Amino acid sequence: MKKNKRVAALLTELSMNPNKIYPSKYFCSKFDIAKSSLSEDIRVADEIAREMGRGHIETIPGVGGGIKLRPGISLEDAEALQNDLCSKLSDPTRILGGGFLYTSDIMFDSHTVRDMALIFAHHFRDVQADYIATVETKGIPLAEMTSLMLNIPMVVVRREPKYSEGSTVSINYFSGSYERIQKMSISKRAVKNGSSAIIIDDFMRGGGSLKGLTEILSEFNIDVKGAGVAMASREPEKKKISSYFPIIYLEDIDEEERVIKASPNPLKNWYDEEDPQ
């Protein structure tokens, strides 16, 4: 296989399995090349990934080392996605009443979800976690894509226990969005005691669902390392959780005037000069 084809094949496999560590000998055997040739291929592939704004290839030294693609998204592409989301949300026909918006077309669009997941993968790139956790339903595609990008398993917390889940743990929590007590449950087989998780969800208003997720995970002594949401409402100002990372903010919904205002979360602070992207 010629060098250009090897580089293309290398990038394809790494991109299909982001954050998966491949031993160097795997590609040496696959391409039937020496380690020195592979090193040069990796250098070229890394340059391409960086120039395209889709992350970088990391070389891990040692016996258990190898190479992996750490996915990311350029600041320009991330800001373009934010602006596109804000534009789509400004459509007054999305207003459903009671301060709710129709967002299913956004949260189930595979390309949009992929790019949002890349932003989360970039933001949480140095967070060591064992799970991506979400609560059904609209947050599942985003959480699943984020789990793929970070190469860690996903856990779905149910609104109601399912027989197919086996033994479950359930809690009651107060939902600020619906202003009532709701229930969520998780299978005892879904997580390991004493592990850690990153919470990913589609929307947050008061933070009741995310607080509920944190509480149900704490039943297994799971440490929540961070939380990411696609959209966060500015109101109420005081949330039930203290730390979260939104992609965009929902500033205001004026039902009478049929006006929706949304703004991007400034990302420049997360793209500093030392960023490998």
For residue 202, what are the CA distances in angstroms to 21, 50, 53, 190, 227? 29, 28, 24, 21, 11
pLDDT the model gives residue 97: 78
Among residues 226, 260, 242, which one has the least CA distance to residue 100? 260
**Assigned fold of 3-70:** Arc Repressor Mutant, subunit A (1.10.10)
Q: Residue 277: pLDDT above 70?
A: no
Digit-coded pLDDT (tens) for 184-238? 999 999 999 999 999 999 999 999 999 999 999 999 999 999 999 999 999 988 9
Can you tell me the distance from the alpha carbon of 131 to that of 126, in angstroms, rounded to the nearest whole number? 14
Digit-coded pLDDT (tens) for 257-276? 999 999 999 998 777 644 54
Q: Which amino acid is at 65?
A: G
Can you tell me the distance from the alpha carbon of 159 to that of 161, in angstroms, rounded to the nearest whole number? 7
Tell me what percent of the residues of the chain surpass a pLDDT of 90.
82
Q: Residue 20: pLDDT above 90?
A: yes
What is the model's pTM? 0.92
**Assigned fold of 75-270:** Rossmann fold (3.40.50)
Q: Residue 161: pLDDT above 50?
A: yes
**Domain extent listing, the chain:** 3-70, 75-270
Q: Residue 170: pLDDT above 80?
A: yes
Question: 69 near 14, Cβ under 8 Å?
Answer: yes
Write down the mean pLDDT value for the chain: 92
Residues with Cβ < 8 Å from 2, sequence gap 6 or more?
Answer: none
Q: Residue 179: pLDDT above 80?
A: no
For residue 151, what are the CA distances in angstroms to 15, 49, 204, 232? 12, 18, 25, 25
Exposed e or buried b for every residue in 49-81, given b needs 16+ CB within 10 A? bbeeebbbbbeeeeeeebbbbbbbbbbebbbeb
pLDDT the model gives residue 17: 97
pLDDT the model gives residue 177: 63
pLDDT the model gives residue 175: 75
Digit-coded pLDDT (tens) for 100-134? 899 999 999 999 999 999 999 999 999 999 999 99
Residue 227 backbone phi and psi in degrees, to 5: -140, 135
